[in-house]
Structure 1
Amino acid sequence: MRRISTALTLGLIAIPAIAVAQRAQVDTGTIAGTRIAAPTGVDAYLGIPYAAPPIGALRWQPPKPAARWSGVRKADAFGARCMQQPLFADMKFRSPGIAEDCLTLNVWAPAGTKPGAKLPVLFYIHGGGAIAGDGSERRYDGAALARQGIVVVTINYRLGAFGFLATSDLVAESPTHTAGNYGLLDQAAALAWVRRNAAAFGGDPARITIGGESAGSMSVSVLMTSPLTRTQFAGAIGESGGVMPPSFRPKSLAQATANGDAFVRAAGANSIADLRAMPADALLAAQGTQRLRADFIVDGQFLTEAPIDTYAAGRAASVPLLVGSNSQEGSWTGVLNGQPPTVANYRAGIARLYTDADALFALYPARTDAEVPAAATKLASDTFLGASTWKWFDLHRRTRQPTYYYHFSHPRPAALPPLTNPEVPPMGAVHSAEIEYALGNLDTNPAYAWTANDRRISAVFQGYFAAFIKTGNPNVTGLPTWPVASPGNGAIMRQTVDVQTRAEPFTDQARYEAAVPLLENRRP
């Protein structure tokens, strides 16, 4: 009963605690959401279309405006999630299923907020490698931050082959001679919708902070560089991921179209017309069989150059940035390739993966077998997301925009049945573990035995997020001081978020500077 009560309070099930219709007038018509009962109430508007369904001839087209409707449209249930395979066990959806008709968003606002109240807005982009995920996931629920006086928006965008396929046919038919990045164009369309309609929910279009985790964080890093979006928001939050070396560089349009043309042939089609005629389920199956990646593309429209060049030249969005990563973004087992953690196996694992094995071993040393798991964890974490997130942070802070860097190091508590604890215990905070803490959503995830320490950490982390969304500065009375990063070549401070949250020297700075070029030299 206690869990059921918590779910009702947070609005996590289909029937809200108080099913009172709350109306809002957006540019395509009137919508009716619901009020969620809580110590302070929240009005939720779910499944709002921000663009036309990208089906039929609109498959692999930039998003088109949503149709207007007459009367009052119900906005009390999440829309379908975009086409995807069930790849990640930690995604707990509230959406009814998958469909191509998926371009919807969700809004949470403090109960009774009047239009034009000018509250700050968080525009949040889900993770999932740009091949999975959606805005209905429980861990992204917007009610907790809405209770802090923030209008929260989560979105869906096209994924995988549906969102990032580029082919020579698509380039030829495009008036701008571009292709791919449809999922990013969806994000831009959703952001434009929020700017037009934020005031209807009490939000201020001049105070939008874009945020996201993993692929969502990578999306934030490119939204800050795109000429279509980089002037459309007031702040940015990135959790574990940036489209930066050593791990992530966008594809050129030529590379992307060559890959896409090969995918068309492998799917048994002769043209993009054939592929548009293919049922969505068959296309999704072909994506899984061919392992098509969802690559961001320098297409000349959404991205006119690699993000690293935009940041280095000072052309990225001139806004405050809060960014960071977790202490265990990757696992040492991947470096060891299933072998026992000995120094010899560790050296062999580095040599198997990288051409500069000796130099990397010197940066991630292990003198004894006992030191191998920790050293290999740092290497795996930096390779996956740690170093690319740092590179994004490092370039942006040098533009003298307020930049704040965090290091989330608190491991989750033990898992509760039926979830099983991993055979290899985590050595820190694993990838995506910070989401529930930062968004105030521990209670949306009953899989873990949350402790008083977890709740204290969440209160601090959520407090930082709320303050940053409101002011562009995470510091607020009652929380440990978080210093802004210096823009020069001197020592940098970062905020370690743990049981004892604190500012401390960024001791990994020299390692990252030396490792980034070496980590790019991966073996095929």
Structure 2
Amino acid sequence: MFGIVAAALTGLCQVQASLAIPHVSAPTVQLDKAIFTGSSTGNVSRFLGIPYAQPPVGNLRFQRPLMHLPYSGHYNVTAFGPSCIQQTDSVTIPYNISPSALEVIEAVFGSYSTGPDNYDEDCLTINVIVPAGVSAHAKLPVVMWIYGGGFEFGQTADPSTDGGAIVQRSIDIGLPIIYVSANYRVSGFLAGKEVQDAGVGNLGLRDQREALRWLQKYISAFGGDPKKVTIWGQSAGAVSVSLQMVTNGGNNEGLFRAAFMESGSPFPVGPITESQPAYDAFVLNAGCSHANNTLQCLREAPISSIRAAINDSTSVLSFSSVSLAYQWGPSADGDFLKDDPQKLVLQGSVSPVPLVSGDCDDEGTLFSLSNANITTDQEVQDYISKYFVRNMPNASSVEKLLQLYPSDPAQGSPFDTGLQDAITPQYKRLAAIQGDLIFQAPRRFFLQHRSSKQTIYSYLSKRDKTTSVLGSYHGTDMQIIYGGGDLGDYLIRFVATLNPNSNTSLHWPTYSPSSPQLLTLLDGPTPLEITNDTYRAAAFDYVTQLLLEDPL
């Protein structure tokens, strides 16, 4: 339980209570019968580590999130709460990688090898960052950030995603907004028959939904408008945004009015029961294979056993890479996701809110380092057959895919770099396939089916194309937003007005069936241009066809 009285507010989540009267100069907000005291720096005030759900510990482990109890007492909310229990892993780096590419890889993946400094099961906390001195009656637009990390790792306490920078920039351009972020359970998407029967699939997505409900109840106290919430994420966070759009028959319950997705769309996933082998392995590694009720055994097991079992599972950084044959991705559980998300799109189960969706040009490069030991055509065919189109009845389907993605390095990713960056004979080919299967083709599929039904803007980032081996790799657009770049201004304007334009350097047209145009971000003297979303059309169409027949 969290703090109903001051004596209970110690230990987990770093949410501490004090009976002392808060210092008058610190920002405060009242929620229920509690006073929350945050901190201010310059023009920005922060309220960090507020619990939004009951701690998922003890018998609530691997259960759906429960609404928090009414607040009372005093809370000192000046530090992020602990990150959720998660996998620690490291990417395999080819021996012939360049020093500049190695520096990027270590920056992107370095923290995943050790995990967060501060983690705990009691991790479901939310952070609210506002313009300093904002009135409770201001009704400012709100953006809720959902972090990525392959559904295996990630946290709100990440210095590279400083919400204060977003709020400060919004003040600078005269469109102040409120920034919110919330921890959700990663490395906790159990799947299998037992999970389906218990109705506890897709727990991290359910956590996000609960955080959105918290916003509806409490954001007004911080000066936010609950009717003006935009959900925003990158990578697994962007996929999460898209799945919040397709759940519940497309009825978003008034929880958000817009969506912004960086490198993530509704991608094809199969039934939750297909992951039974992964569940069985997890149960075995946690020491619960003897139990009649394995889920209950997992709830009662020492957290050290759970964490060890998580680390024993495969990951997005392992050889299987971005294939969802690994443990922790979302799945069609028949409840939160009643079907394969792409089929839900075809059924019209989509929240018809304005949206932005974009990709980086070389999405697959980072994820192809761990399988760079694949060097022949046959090895590529075997790999794709095992991890991406596992249930295809004959080899011809994979053979056609490989014809569309030839081994010629000049046609691989990083794209438009000729024979450069071919660190192995198949690296650029694998990078092209993996980037398109998981990121690029699902985005185009989604937008093609929704652009006549709702307002859509789309972009392609080709920034940092000169990064050795990696090109415009997955996540480079994050730097353009959190680092104060032009895409960040488009984001803020979209959150504030539902239109990314107005006093921007280039007008960003809407995406339509007859004119699928992209805001394209480039290096060099012309940083922005408008291009058509028609590249690799035959390959995208075939990828989509394959994965609709055989979801990941």
Q: TM-score, normalised by structure 2?
A: 0.76
Deviates more, 1:404-413 or 1:353-362: 353-362
Secondary structure, in 3 states, of the residue corresponding to 1:480? Answer: coil
Equivalent of 2:519 in 491, 495, 503: 495
1:267 partner letter: A
Counterpart amino acid of residue 84 in structure 1: Q
Find 2:349's aligned residue among 299, 311, 315: 315
> What displacement does 1:141 show?
1.3
Q: CA deviation at 1:381?
A: 1.8
Q: Partners in 1 of 2:462 and 2:403 — Cα distance?
A: 24
Q: How many residues end up aligned between the 2 structures?
A: 461
1:410 to 455, 460, 463: 463
Residue matched to 1:505: 532
Q: Which residue is 1:55 aligned to?
A: 57
Native 8 Å contact 2:32 2:71 kept in 1 = no
Gap regions ≥5 residues in structure 1: 1-17, 415-424, 442-457
The structure 1 residue matched to 2:435, chosen from 381, 387, 398, is: 381
Note the C-alpha offset of 1:167.
5.3
Letter in 2 for 1:132: F
Please tell me whether the aligned partners of residues 363 and 474 of structure 2 are also in contact (alpha carbons under 8 angstroms): yes
Rounded to whole Å, the distance in 1 between the matches of 2:382 and 2:189 is 33
Look up the match of 1:31: 36
Secondary structure of the 1:225 match is: helix
AA matched with 2:518: R
> What is the distance in 1 between the residues matched to 2:381 and 2:271?
29
Does residue 109 (structure 1) correspond to residue 130 (structure 2)? The answer is yes
Root-mean-square deviation (CA), in Å?
A: 3.1
* Paired AA for residue 52 in structure 2: Y
Shift of the alpha carbon at 1:282? Answer: 1.3
- Give yes or no for the alignment of 1:197 onto 2:209: no
Taking the aligned partners of 2:445 and 2:33, their CA distance within structure 1 comes to 41
Question: How far 1:300 moved relative to its partner?
Answer: 3.1
Structure-to-structure mapping, 1:26-175, within 5 angstroms: 26-27=31-32, 29-37=34-42, 41-87=43-89, 90=108, 97-147=118-168, 148=170, 149-160=176-187, 163-166=188-191, 168-169=193-194, 174=198
Task: Write out aligned runs for 1:426-441 (5 A).
Answer: 426-439=469-482, 441=483
Letter in structure 2 aligned against 1:288: N
Change (3 A) 1:19 1:519: farther
* 1:236 aligned counterpart, secondary structure: strand
Q: How far did 1:33 drift?
A: 0.6
Give the letter for the 1:80 counterpart.
P
Deviation of residue 264 (structure 1)? 2.0
Residues in 2 aligned to 1:86 and 1:262: alpha-carbon distance in whole angstroms: 18
| CA displacement 1:82-126 (0-9 Å, x = unmatched) | 001333653669975110000001111111111121111101100
- Give the corresponding residue for 1:6: none
Percent identity over the alignment is 30
The aligned residue for residue 450 of structure 1 is none
Deviations 1:382-423 (A, max 9, x none): 13422223322332224x201111111111787xxxxxxxxx
Amino acid at match of 1:481: H
Alignment of 1:109-508 (within 5 A): 109-147=130-168, 148=170, 149-160=176-187, 163-166=188-191, 168-169=193-194, 174=198, 178-227=199-248, 230-231=252-253, 232-245=255-268, 249=269, 251-256=270-275, 259-269=278-288, 270=291, 271=293, 272-291=295-314, 293-331=327-365, 334=368, 338=372, 345=376, 349-350=380-381, 352-354=383-385, 355=395, 356-365=397-406, 371=419, 373=422, 377-398=431-452, 400-411=453-464, 425-439=468-482, 441=483, 458-486=484-512, 488=513, 490-499=514-523, 500-508=527-535
- Superposed CA deviations along residues 106-149 of structure 1, whole A, max 9, x for unmatched, are 11111111112111110110001111011111122111221201
- Structure 1 residue 505 displacement after superposition: 1.5
Alpha-carbon deviation of 1:471? 1.6
Q: How many angstroms apart in 2 are the aligned matches of 1:128 and 1:23?
A: 32
Q: Deviations over 1:440-494 (max 9, x none)?
A: x3xxxxxxxxxxxxxxxx43111111111112221122321111011x3x34211
Report the CA distance between 1:233 and its aligned residue. Answer: 0.7
1:59 touches 1:276 (CA, 8 Å); kept in 2? Answer: yes
Q: Structure 1 residues 348 and 81, CA, compared in 2 at 3 Å: closer, same or farther?
A: closer
Give, in angstroms, the shift of residue 288 of structure 1.
1.9
Partner of 2:537: helix, strand, or coil? helix
Aligned to 1:109, the other structure's residue is in SS state strand
Q: Deviations over 1:245-293 (max 9, x none)?
A: 4xxx1x4243345643453244321132222121112111012224361
Residues 22 and 32 of structure 1 are in contact (CA less than 8 Å); yes or no, is this contact kept in structure 2?
yes
Q: Contact 1:51–1:65 (CA<8 Å) still a contact in 2?
A: yes
Q: Which residue of 2 aligns with 1:516?
A: 544
Distance 2:409 2:345 in 1: 40
